Structure 1
Amino acid sequence: MNQPLFLQPVFQERIWGGTALKDQFNYDIPSDQTGECWAISGHPNGQSTVVNGEFAGKTIGELWNEHRELFGGHTSPVFPLLTKILDANADLSVQVHPDDTYAKEHENGELGKTECWYIIDCDEDAEMIFGHTAGTKEEFVSMIENGEWNDLLRRLPVKPGDFFYVPSGTIHALCKGTLVLETQQSSDTTYRVYDYDRRDAEGNTRELHIEKSIEVTTIPHRNTDVQPAVEERDGVEVTKFVKAEYFTVYKWRVDGHASFVQNQPFQLASVLDGEGTLKVQGESYTLKKGNHFILPADIETFEIEGQLELIVSHV
C-alpha cells in the first residue's frame, strides 16, 4: 500500500462546547455546542474513517482488527491512542481518570486514561485546573465534602504553545477559552469530581463520581514537569514534549523541505497550522490545517514540503 491514511473526524457535542472547531479549522460541526473533534480514533464511541486509497470507508477499529500489519503488528487488543481537539468554550468539569488496572476491573475492560495537552490557542487570561492541595486522603475527602473547591484545586495560567502531561490519577480541568490538542490513551472513562452545580437544558445537574474519584486520585498531587527537547535539522524543528509509558508526542515545525525516516511501527499526525505537501514513494498528498492522518508501518521514508506545524505521536 505505502500510503498515508487520511481520516474523517467524528464530532461530539458537549455542554461546554462552542464553535471554535468551525471558526479555526473550518470543520462542519453539528451545532454551536461542539466540544470535541475525535480526529484519530478507534474507540467505539467515535471512530475515525479513512477517506483515501484502498481502505477508504474503513474505520480505524476495522483496520486494527483486519490489517494489523499496517501498525507493525502491535499487540494491543484495541487501537491504543486517541487524538482529539477540544474547544473549551466554558469550563469543563473537574475530573480524574483511572489507570489501566482500575479501569479494567471497574469499566468493562476499558483502558485507563493518561493524556497530554498542547494549547493551540486560548484567551489572554486563560487558566486550567491541574492538581490539588490535599496532603492526605482524609483531607481530600473532607475538602470535597465541605465544598472547599477554591482551597482544594490548583490553578495554572496557560498560553498558546504550552504542553501539559496529565497521568491517570491527576485532578484536572480545562477552563473557558482554551483550544487544545489532546493525545491520550484510547479511553472514554471520566470521573467527575465537581461540575460547578451547573444544569443542562432540562434543568438537571450532571452525574458526579465522587467515590470512584477518591479511589483513583493520586494523593498528594505529583507534579509532572515537561522539559521539551528541541532538535533542528534541514527544513524542520522537532520538539519532543514527552516520552512516556503510553505515548511520545512531538511538534514538527516544517519550513521548506524536510526528509523523515519512519522509525516507529506507525505515527499519528495532525496539521495545526499552515499548508504543504506530503510525499511518499513519488506520490504527493496535500496537507492543510485541520488534516489528520496515520503514517502506517510500510512507509519507510517520506518528505514534507511547505510551511506548517504538526503534532505527531506514536506508542
Structure 2
Amino acid sequence: MYPLKFNPILKSTIWGGDKIIPFKHLDCQQAQVGESWEISDVPGDESVVANGADAGKNLTQMVDEYKGALVGEANYKRFNGKFPLLIKFIDAQDDLSIQVHPNDELAMKRHNSMGKTEMWYVIDNANGKAHLRSGLSKQITPDEYAAMIANNTICDALADYAVKPGDVFFLPAGRIHSIGAGCFIAEIQQTSNITYRIYDFNRKDKNGNTRELHTELSKDAIDYSVEADYRTHYEPKQNEPVELVTCPYFTTSVYDLSENMTMDYSELDSFVIYICMEGACSITDNEGNTVELQAGESVLFPATTKTLEVVPQGKVKFLETYV
C-alpha cells in the first residue's frame, strides 16, 4: 500500500465562510463553505481516493479490500470493518449552534452509531476576534438546563473562550460546546454524524424557518460536571513531537518542523493521518513511496507503514493522529 490522499467533501452551511477553498488551494466556486470533510467513512459521505492505483475507490471500499493492512488488525476488529475517524477543516464566519454529542452507549442504543468524542486545533482566529464555548461554567440540573433553553439563557451557563492559533480543546462525548464566529479549526472526531442541537440563537434559514432543537434527546446525553478549565494546555516545541490528546478513540500530536525527521511506526498497529496547517514537506515511506503535503491537505498512511522520512520545505506544521 501507499500514502493516500482523498478528494475533499465541501459542505456549505448557514454559518460558513470563505477561507477553506483558498486554504486548500482549490480551483472551484462554492459559497459559504463551512466544512471540508478531509477523510470520511460516514455513510453517504465516503471520501474518494485521489491518487495512485486506488484512485476512484471510496474509503469504505478501501477498508473492505485491505482490512487490517489499512487500518490495523486490532482496529479492524474493534470497529467492525468501519474506518473510525472523521477529519475536517471548519471555517465559522458566524457562531455554530450550541450542541452536544452522545457517547457510544447512547448513540448505539438510539442510532446504531458510534458516539462522538472529538478535538479542535485552532488554525486561525480572524484577527484575534474568535471565540468558542466548551463545557459548563456552573452546576445546573437537567430541568434547569431545559428551562435555560426555553428562556434563551443557556449561554450564561457555558464557558466561553477567546482563542488564538495553536489552542486545543478536547471534547469528550457529553460535553456541551459551540464553535464561535471567527474560528478556523482542524477537527478530529469519531466517525459519527450524530449531533443534538441545543440552541441556535433563534436563527432562521432562507425560508424563514428555525432549525430543529433536540432538547429532550440532549438532556440525557449531557455530562453535567463542571471543570475549572476546558482548554488543553501544552508547551509548543520545534523539531520534536508534542502530544496533545490521548484517549480511547485517538492519539494526536503536533509537529512543528524545520529539520528532517524520521518517524518510526514499526510497533504501531494503526493507520496514521497527517493534517497540515502550515508550510509544506515531502514524505517518503519505507517502500520508497513519496507524497507531497502542503497546508490544507491531509494524508492517510496505511497500517503497513513502518517508517516515514519527513523533509520540510523550509518549515511545516501538522497534526499526527492514529487509533
Q: How does 1:29-108 map onto structure 2 within 5 Å? A: 31-68=30-67, 69-73=69-73, 74=75, 75=77, 76-77=79-80, 78-107=82-111
The 3-state SS of whatever aligns with 1:139 is helix
Q: How does 1:206-225 map onto structure 2 within 5 Å? A: 206-222=211-227, 224-225=230-231
TM-aligned CA distance change 1:183 to 1:226, over 3 Å? same
Structure 2 unaligned segments of length 5 or more: list them. Answer: none
User: Which of 295, 299, 302 lines up with 1:296 in the alignment?
Assistant: 302
Give the number of the structure whose residues are more often strand, by fraction: 1
AA at the equivalent of 1:148: T
Give the CA deviation at 1:228. 2.9
What does the per-residue CA deviation read over 1:202-248, in whole Å, with 9 as the maximum and x for residues that have no partner? 1111111110111111113345452436676xxx2211101112111
Q: Specify the alignment match of 1:19 in structure 2.
A: 18
User: Partners in 1 of 2:36 and 2:301 — Cα distance?
Assistant: 20
CA contact under 8 A between 1:11 and 1:30: conserved in structure 2? no
| Residues 261-270 or 217-226, more deviating | 217-226
TM-aligned CA distance change 1:95 to 1:150, over 3 Å? closer
What does the per-residue CA deviation read over 1:97-142, in whole Å, with 9 as the maximum and x for residues that have no partner? 00011111111x1111010000000121211111222332232223
User: Which of 249, 254, 266 lines up with 1:251 in the alignment?
Assistant: 254
AA at the equivalent of 1:294: L
User: Partners in 2 of 1:55 and 1:27 — Cα distance?
Assistant: 22
TM-score (norm 2): 0.91
Q: Specify the alignment match of 1:241 in structure 2.
A: 244
What does the per-residue CA deviation read over 1:144-189, in whole Å, with 9 as the maximum and x for residues that have no partner? 2332234222211111100000011111100111100000000001
Give the CA deviation at 1:197. 0.6
CA contact under 8 A between 2:122 and 2:168: conserved in structure 1? yes
User: Partners in 1 of 2:299 and 2:260 — Cα distance?
Assistant: 19
CA contact under 8 A between 2:198 and 2:215: conserved in structure 1? yes
Q: How does 1:97-246 map onto structure 2 within 5 Å? A: 97-107=101-111, 109-123=112-126, 124-132=128-136, 133-222=138-227, 224-228=230-234, 236-246=239-249
CA contact under 8 A between 1:238 and 1:251: conserved in structure 2? yes
AA at the equivalent of 1:55: D
The 3-state SS of whatever aligns with 1:70 is helix
User: Partners in 2 of 1:290 and 1:94 — Cα distance?
Assistant: 26
Q: Specify the alignment match of 1:305 in structure 2.
A: 311
User: Partners in 1 of 2:24 and 2:62 — Cα distance?
Assistant: 27
AA at the equivalent of 2:148: M
User: Partners in 2 of 1:154 and 1:29 — Cα distance?
Assistant: 37
